[in-house]
Structure 1
Amino acid sequence: MAGAANVQVALREVMDIRQAAEYLGISGDTLYRYASEGFVPAFKLGNRWRFRKSLLDAWMDEKSGVTPPSQHVDPAKKKPVSRAR
């Protein structure tokens, strides 16, 4: 049963520092330092760091050089942006 609880923790969209550190495979102290320095995508809720799984996944893809196919847009297919008034 403990294994099932860990899987649920890893699948949460918003994680605390302990859960996110476990998900990333680093220590909580290291993740706290990374969040404080702005190295990883994080936000504070009150005085506690929180991490969105989707943002961490995108950050890891970016840092590892992997670009998900759904995010690649052919520049020729982009719509023109209207100018602000």
Structure 2
Amino acid sequence: MAQVQIAPREVMDIRQASEYLGISGDTLYRYASEGFIPAFKLGNRWRFKKTLLDAWMDEKSGVKPQVPVVVAPKEKKPAGRAR
């Protein structure tokens, strides 16, 4: 039977984030406690934003962040008057 993959949530707990990153929960807890990895506490539990983890991994791996290209819509010409 195939294992079902669940898309990572935007805000993850230790278990979800460690699975996403492929490291142990203990290592991730240590990284968060030392401020090595972007994380925040909600109550007394660590939380991790997927977008911040992705940006952190890009930075650590030397990947330059992609700047989104914004294309301005073409201006419409005014309609001619009906005769």
Is TM-score (shorter-chain normalized) higher than 0.5? yes
CA distances 1:14-63 after superposition (whole Å, capped 9, x unpaired): 00000000000000000000000000000000000000000000000000
Q: How does 1:1-85 map to 2 (within 5 A)?
A: 3-4=3-4, 6-8=5-7, 11-70=8-67
Structure 1 residue 7, shift from structure 2 partner: 1.8
Q: How many residues align?
A: 68
Q: Which runs of 5+ in 1 are unaligned?
A: 72-85
Q: Which runs of 5+ in 2 are unaligned?
A: 69-83
User: Cα RMSD between the aligned structures?
Assistant: 1.7
- Scaled by the length of structure 2, the TM-score of the pair is 0.75
- Scaled by the length of structure 1, the TM-score of the pair is 0.73
Structure 1 residue 2, shift from structure 2 partner: 7.5
- Counterpart position of 1:82: none
Give aligned-pair identity as a percent.
79
More helix as a share of residues: 1
Structure possessing the higher radius of gyration over alpha carbons? 2
Local SS of the residue matching 1:41: coil
